[in-house]
Amino acid sequence: MTVYTCPKGHASEESDFCDTCGSKIGAAPSPEAVTIPDSSPKSSSEPPCPHCGAPRGGSARFCEDCGYDHSTGRVPQLDSPLPGPPPGQWTATVFADRVYFDANEVDGVTFPDGAPEQTVTLPAPQVRIGRSSSSKGTTPDLDLTEDPGVSHNHALLTLTIDGQWLVSDLGSTNGTYLNDEDAPLTAGQSRTLKDGDQVHVGIWTTITLHAPSG
């Protein structure tokens, strides 16, 4: 049913003259198709937070659970910085060291020509150096299985709270050597490492420490 509105506001079923007061209905009778008023009740249930699904308390702008901003649709970043980007990490270059190999003069072992050099990031707080062994259950962080002179539990790199890496020998069979020192580290002894220091283990492996750049 189409309802017309006369100039005085009556609803009229006639399109030309108001059936209540007789006034002429406007020249351009806009059929005032009854617009259904916005039926969404303001008061009751607001949709839950689209970010975390928590029920929204009234028409609060921010989600109490996750901070979602219902007016902008964003999750605000925390003002306080998160436990910031980790300080630069030390890395180590691990390679088959011909010079060290030659100095060891081990009979019956062939130097692994062409063995790839690898650079690893030293994960805090410690790096176990050794050879993996399923029978002994050792899974070192730095696995030097290729080098037959490396013990299963050979050496340990430890990061101190001062940010310094220490190297210690874990009672390896063939010893852990620092730079060009003749004597190996004694078991349990720790030595501070600085940028460029070289740790020698096994028959040919040299580990060069690199301080974080910048």
**Cβ at position 19, least distance to Zn ion in Å:** 8
204 is an interface residue for Zn ion by CB under 5 A: no
Minimum CB distance to Zn ion smaller for 68 or for 100: 68
96 is an interface residue for Zn ion by CB under 5 A: no
99 is an interface residue for Zn ion by CB under 5 A: no
* One residue of 5, 20, 126, 133 binding Zn ion per CB under 5 A: 20
**Cβ at position 72, least distance to Zn ion in Å:** 13
Measured distance CA(43)–CA(157) in Å, rounded? 63
Work out the number of other CB atoms within 10 angstroms of the CB of residue 208: 17
Residue where the block lists tokens 């890496």 = 165
63 is an interface residue for Zn ion by CB under 5 A: yes
187 is an interface residue for Zn ion by CB under 5 A: no
Residue type, 139: T
Across 116-148, b (16+ Cβ under 10 Å) vs e yields: eeeeeebebeebbbbbeeeeeebebebebeebe
Minimum CB distance to Zn ion smaller for 64 or for 181: 64
**Cβ at position 35, least distance to Zn ion in Å:** 20
19 is an interface residue for Zn ion by CB under 5 A: no
Residues 6+ apart with CB under 8 A from 166: 157, 158, 159, 160, 190, 191, 192, 193
51 is an interface residue for Zn ion by CB under 5 A: yes
25 is an interface residue for Zn ion by CB under 5 A: no
CA torsion 126→132→136→137, rounded to 10°? 60
**Cβ at position 52, least distance to Zn ion in Å:** 3
Task: Give residue 132's Cα distance to chain centre.
Answer: 28
Instruction: Enumerate binding residues for Zn ion (CB under 5 A).
Output: 6, 8, 10, 18, 20-21, 23, 49, 51-52, 54, 63, 65-66, 68
